[in-house]
Amino acid sequence: MNIVVCVKQVPEVADADLEINKEGTRIEREDLVMDINEWDNYAVEEAVRIKEVYGGTVTVVTLGDEDSEDVLRRALAMGADEAILIDEEGFEASDATGIARGLFRAIHDLSFDLLLTGVQSADDGWGQVGLILAEFLNIPYASMAVGVEIEGGRAIVLRELESNTQEKVELSLPAVLTIQTGINDPRYVSIMGIRKVRNIEIKETRAQELGLSEDEIGAKGSSVASRNLSLPPIGEGAEILTGSLGEICEKAAQIIRDKGGVE
């Protein structure tokens, strides 16, 4: 069971104070901590678990700058065998199709049974790349996987639907799956673990080597003409309780008593 996993490095924004550049085109990333996209981390773990049961190899691929090597090393430490880094030069301002074109060219000659990636990325959140890849590869897919079993050369996949409902689908292989968070419990990666894989060679490639022309990727290849970013207004709607912490808690307690009939 050979598996390819597409991963992405994203800034951690959950607790961050985001700022937008003055052109309004992107957020300032300098002070942000970069990490593997959460959904992709679950995808790497799922790939390694499948490999541990059925054998084969796991190849991780990313498209990004040289710092993106970190997410590849992390995946290698988790148990991936090979890694490919596609240099982001020329891909800046690509839409999901442009990114998928790069990934497709880098992996379409590999022999694999499953291609996994996260449902979406924590930054742009298009949720498109995995399914575009399936279409380019002309193979079946299922998105939002929360369970995967391999049976008789087929994948039985549980897809997450709304309202605590799932659907079970069957896919012939090779197939593409996009992985939802919570599907597994991703293993911890120690600094020691990353040190152990430091000698594994990361294969590097770039747009020209992949035969991609300027108008297929980047801003030229994107369907987006322009974008303007803004911060949503603070606390639109909510009455923010003010005062000392004691006063705030007293106000909150009064609201709970009034609205909830709590003594």
Q: Which of residues 79-108 bind another protein (CB under 8 A)?
A: 96-97, 100
Among the listed ranges 45-53, 84-92, 189-197, 231-239, the one in contact with another protein (CB under 8 A) is: 231-239
Quick one: which segment of 65-73, 82-90, 201-209, 233-241 binds another protein (CB under 8 A)? 233-241
Residue from 23, 67, 215, 236 that binds another protein (CB under 8 A)?
236
State yes or no: residue 31 binds another protein (CB under 8 A). Answer: no
Residue 17, interface with another protein (CB under 8 A)?
A: yes
When asked if residue 181 is in the footprint of another protein (CB under 8 A), the reply is yes
Region of residue 246 (left: phi > 0; alpha: psi -120 to 50; beta: else)? alpha
Choose which of 85, 171, 207, 212 interacts with another protein (CB under 8 A).
Answer: 171
250 counts as binding another protein under rule CB under 8 A: yes
CB 103 within 8 A of CB 214: no
Structure token digits, residue 117: 């990636």
* Size, binding site for another protein by CB under 8 A: 85
> For another protein, which residue of 159, 179, 197, 218 counts as binding (CB under 8 A)?
159
Cα dihedral sign for 61, 85, 106, 203?
negative
CA distance 211 to 223: 20
Q: What are phi and psi of 76, to 5 degrees?
A: -65, -40
C-beta of 178: minimal distance to another protein in Å? 9
Determine if 69 is a binding residue for another protein (CB under 8 A). Answer: no
By CB under 8 A, tell whether 122 contacts another protein.
yes
What's the CA gap between 162 and 139, in Å, rounded?
26
The residues, ordered by sequence, that sit 6+ positions from 150 with a Cβ below 8 Å of its Cβ are: 1, 50, 53, 54, 156
Beta-strand pair 34-36/114-118 = unpaired
Name the β-bridge partners of 203: 84
Residue from 111, 152, 191, 259 in contact with another protein (CB under 8 A): 259
User: 160, 177, 197, 218: which one contacts another protein (CB under 8 A)?
Assistant: 160
Quote the CA–CA distance of 51 and 65 in Å, as a whole number: 28
Site for another protein in 39-68 (CB under 8 A): none
**End-to-end alpha-carbon separation of the chain, Å?**
60
Q: How far is the CB of 58 from another protein (least distance, A)?
A: 22
Residue number with CB closer to another protein (205 or 222): 222
Q: How far is the CB of 252 from another protein (least distance, A)?
A: 6
At 180, which amino acid appears? Q
